[in-house]
Amino acid sequence: MNRYFNASAYILVLFILIALLVTPKLSFNIASPFIKSDSSAFLDVKASHFQPFNNLMIWLSKYGRDLFWPIVIILLFVFGGWTGRKTASVIVISMLVLIPLGIIAKDVVSRPRPVGPKSDLLVATEKDFGFPSGEALIVSAGSAVTLALFRDTPRKLTISIILAVESALVCVSRVYVGAHYPLDVLGGILFGVGVSFIFVGLEKHIESAMLLLRKNILRH
Contact (Cβ atoms closer than 8 angstroms) between residue 106 and residue 132: yes
pLDDT reading at 33 higher than 70: yes
* Largest distance between two CA atoms of the chain: 64
Q: How confident is the model at residue 176 (pLDDT cuts 50, 70, 90)?
A: very high
Residue 11 included in any domain: yes
In a domain, 79, yes or no: yes
pLDDT tens digit sequence for 57-71: 999 999 999 999 999
Would you say residue 39 lies in a domain? no
Q: Is 146 a domain residue?
A: yes
Cα distance between residue 129 and residue 109, in whole Å = 8
The Cα-based distances of 50 to 87, 162, 185 in angstroms read 36, 24, 21
pLDDT at 169 over 80: yes
Domain-embedded: residue 45: no
Q: What is the mean pLDDT of residues 2-31?
A: 90
**Helices marked H in 110-181:** 134-149, 154-176
Residue 148: how many CB atoms within 10 A of its CB? 20
- Find, among 60, 66, 69, 102, the residue nearest to 88 by Cα: 69
8 located within any domain? yes
Q: State the Cα angle at 210 between 208 and 211, rounded to 5°.
A: 65
Query: Which pLDDT does position 192 carry in this prediction?
Result: 98
Count of domains for the chain? 1
What is the per-residue pLDDT across 113-135, written as a single tens digit (0 to 9) for each? 987 665 567 777 778 899 999 99
Range of the domain at 110: 3-23+51-215
Single pTM value for the model: 0.93
User: DSSP states of 7-57 as a string?
Assistant: HHHHHHHHHHHHHHHH-TTSGGGTT-HHHHHHHHHHHHHHHT--HHHHHHH
DSSP 147: H
Phi-psi region of 4 (alpha: psi -120 to 50; beta: other; left: phi over 0): alpha
Does residue 86 belong to any structural domain of this protein? yes
Q: Do 192 and 140 form a contact (C-beta atoms < 8 A)?
A: yes
31 is a domain residue = no
